[in-house]
Amino acid sequence: MTTTEPRLVPAVVSGHQIYIECPTWCTVDHVAYSEGFLEDVWHCGDNADLFAPRIGKTPDLALYARLGLDPFDSNPGRRQPFVTVDDGSEGFYMVPAQADEFADNLVAFAEQIRAMARTARGAV
């Protein structure tokens, strides 16, 4: 995914419609999700969801990830585009290099799960 120039979009802040710069990947409807203060405006993209199958049950959401940007956050790292991975209890915020490292860890984790599945198949 490439980052391009932001676009101007309508937003509602303190009950007033204004126009804000919004990244092209942001999917937040800044009118529907109005904020009380300009400092509360944030941006996020669509989720990438990881569902886990369960024995005798329907799959359940294990993790989700999304792009984010919080231009007025007290943490300077969140004032630039970042990736969040969340398990529903705690978000893990990552700069792009950390997100790459996490993705590499996921690939290694997936290979370990495949090896476990092969072992389980052979153990029957």
What is the per-residue pLDDT for 1?
A: 47
What is the per-residue pLDDT for 56?
A: 95
How many structural domains are present in the chain? 1
Does 72 fall in a domain? yes
Does 2 fall in a domain? no
**What pTM was estimated for this model as a whole?**
0.85
What is the per-residue pLDDT for 124?
A: 65
Q: List the chain residues with pLDDT less than 70.
A: 1-4, 124
Does 113 fall in a domain? yes
Does 67 fall in a domain? yes
Distances in Å between the Cα of 35 and the Cα atoms of 38, 40, 105 are 7, 6, 37
pLDDT in tens, 62-71: 999 999 999 9
DSSP one-letter string for 52-82? EEETTEEEEEEEEEEEEE-TT-SSGGGGS-E
What is the per-residue pLDDT for 93?
A: 95
What residues make up the domain containing 104? 7-122
